[in-house]
Structure 1
Amino acid sequence: MTEMMRAALYDRFGGPEVLYVGEVPKPVPGPGEVLVKVGAMSINGGELHARAGRFKAVTGRKFPLRTGLDFAGEVAQLASPVAGLAVGDRVWGILPRSSGFGSAAEYVVVRPEQMSRSPKGLDPVEAVAMPVGTTAVTALRDKARLRPGERLLVRGAAGGVGNVAVQLGKAMGAQVTGLARAESLALVRELGADEALDYRATTPADLGRYDVVLDTVGKDLPDYRRLLAPGGRMVAIAFDTDRIAASLGYILASAVHGRSRVRFFSGNPKTELFNELTSYVEQGTLRPIVDTVFPLADIADAHRALEAGGVRGKYVVRIAS
């Protein structure tokens, strides 16, 4: 008899109201795979767009569909021995893009290279606020090559990636300016920003020049690209979903025209990067910021909250009781 588990599902594309909790077969790990009992997952922008039907090329149209990308939990079963992992180990990770979504569930099957041990001292609710931080590490260290003393502008500085970027940028010796909502400015300063500005009261014309711009918003990219100092670098991790073709066209054109290319990437982190993030957390360089914790039954409310804007860190969904 097939063992079942709870998971967040939807039977049609639409708003948060299409989400519900149902039962699906519990996954069985194959050779070289790890079964993880999920303690918590967090809500990311990509899941909102997938649920709304904007990523059909990734999700497909075979309902019911699943949601959720990141996870934190513990190893429940190893189909075959995996170096450095044992049943009961606390782990975190992100499902690969090729597998779609599905971490909003009691169990997930993951390849070992898509995960690592989670930081000591963090429970799953705290830990799952951090895997998206791999995006900030890649953006600032690998794509922008941020150097000590440089001026860094972070758009969406209180969000899931933005809050980690502020912390990491300061740790890397940059002068950090964060753009966020007025009610989040105190948090942005607390995370280390030298300057925190209300994005609703600050236009690009009010800002100076920056060596690096990290954009987690995706709108008005040309206006913020103009803020780059000579030799400046802009990294965008989001694009305007209302104008997808135009946004992607602009990013591609920037590689050919103009003085500064806009670097865009979609993260698919591996164990080495998760291990680095674990080290940052355990050393005290980075700390998780959790806005609100929702039970799995209220995952639709978590989607609504992220769509409404103004998140401070991450909205987390607790899976295990």
Structure 2
Amino acid sequence: MKIDLSDLNAFLAVARAQGFRDGARASGVSASGLSEAVRRLEAQLGVRLLNRTTRSVVPTEAGKRLLARLNPALTEVEAALEEVNDFRNRPAGTLKLNVPVSAARLVLPSIVPRFLAAYPEIRVEVFTESSFVDMVAAGCDAGIRYDERLEQDMIAVPIGPRVQRFATAAAPTYLAQRGRPKHPSELLQHACLRLRFPSGAMPPWEYARDGEVVRVDGEGPLQVDVGGGLDLLIDAAIAGSGVVNLFEDWLRPHLQSGALEPILESWWQPFSGPFLYYPGRRLVPAPLRAFIDFIKAGSV
């Protein structure tokens, strides 16, 4: 039997107030509306729930039993609604982020620990992807991408460094043996350690200076998948296996230590930093709203 919940609420309002007029004032529904709802409920159940006189409205035995069972159930419903309100007023729950490996390594470490400290009741789940996936279909609340990969129907918020560069470097021992390139085209004569996307594509290395743009599709002894193979690529470069081209921030510790030496630095191209993106929905989940506000407040 399918009962309209509004009819049950009407019965509760009248039974508690012991009258249709008082029930109407308490519920905001007209007395005639409550009367019609109660009649409809009684007709569906096939029993009288309220004894009505000109002076009083009193639950029948059946009405008392129904009222006794509905009161604790209603209390549970109210508690559930209060819990939902807590999500709005006191952010809690799970935030799922879909991000490239570079963002997990270079952007999130300076943000997530402080965000978790500020919102201890929020749990963050980070899913790293080497390929570009449908963030919503993957069950995530938001993702991180660069502007050329952003979908038009998404809302984007800047996150992390606003300007980044790819850096080219090699071990000093390698350069001492093979020479230091003066022009990007000379990299074709060097051992280039390359990144490979899941599709099998290997993006060329791009350089620009004084209006000249050069794309180098070099070859070398090592190719690794974007993701878990990146550290191997750097280790191989430090060991003198060849030339590497990665995010400057990723190589910076090794450049500063001298384990790697920059190559063609005047040709490195700056590009826009990443964005947090999410669907343009009217109601943003509380954990995501807290994360967005944390970023916008300049906490990053």
Both proteins in one fold, TM over 0.5: no
User: Which TM-score applies when normalising by structure 2?
Assistant: 0.28
